[in-house]
């Protein structure tokens, strides 16, 4: 089983997810997309799995900083470009296990996901 947790290290929700994985003895590679970058292919996989509207964090400070024009003209291509330029626009954390994608951290979701 290959598990990678994507996020940024100073995000509280990412910290909670990392702490839970560690407590459950689940080995997960951590990928900080602010420090380690993010590839078009990774983002494409998440968007294909979950939809760009789900991956885009509209409650983030980064989203609020976008211009009205950027917000009004959002579509999959423009949203993906913005998320690649500013990874903090991505909801966190993104957990990838054997090509499956889980977004955010909810204890019950993680418990169910790893019970499979």
Query: Could you report the per-residue pLDDT of 28-84, keeping only the tens digit for each?
Result: 999 999 899 999 999 999 999 999 999 999 999 999 999 999 999 999 999 999 999
* Domain boundaries along the sequence of the chain: 3-115
Q: Are strands 3-7 and 100-103 parallel, antiparallel or unpaired?
A: unpaired
Distance CA 70, CA 85 (A): 13
**Phi then psi for 34, rounded to 5 degrees?**
-80, -40
Structurally, at CATH architecture level, domain 3-115 sits in 3-Layer(aba) Sandwich (3.40)
| C-beta of residue 17 within 8 angstroms of C-beta of residue 104 | no
Instruction: Spot the catalytic one: 3, 8, 11, 86.
Output: 11
pLDDT in tens, 75-89: 999 999 999 999 999
Q: What residues are paired with 41 via a beta bridge?
A: none
* pTM across the whole model: 0.92
Q: Does residue 11 have an active-site annotation? A: yes
Check whether 5 has a pLDDT greater than 90: yes
């Amino acid at each position: 089983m290959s598990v990678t947790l994507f996020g940024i290290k100073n995000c509280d929700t990412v910290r909670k997810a990392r702490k839970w994985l560690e407590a459950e003895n689940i080995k997960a590679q951590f990928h900080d997309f602010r420090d380690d970058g993010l590839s078009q292919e990774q983002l494409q996989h998440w968007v294909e799995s979950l939809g760009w509207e789900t991956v885009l964090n509209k409650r983030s400070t980064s989203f609020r900083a976008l211009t009205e024009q950027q917000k009004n003209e959002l579509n999959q291509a423009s949203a993906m470009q913005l998320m690649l330029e500013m990874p903090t626009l991505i909801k966190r954390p993104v957990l990838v296990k054997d090509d499956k994608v889980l977004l955010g951290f909810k204890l019950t979701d993680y418990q169910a996901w790893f019970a499979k």
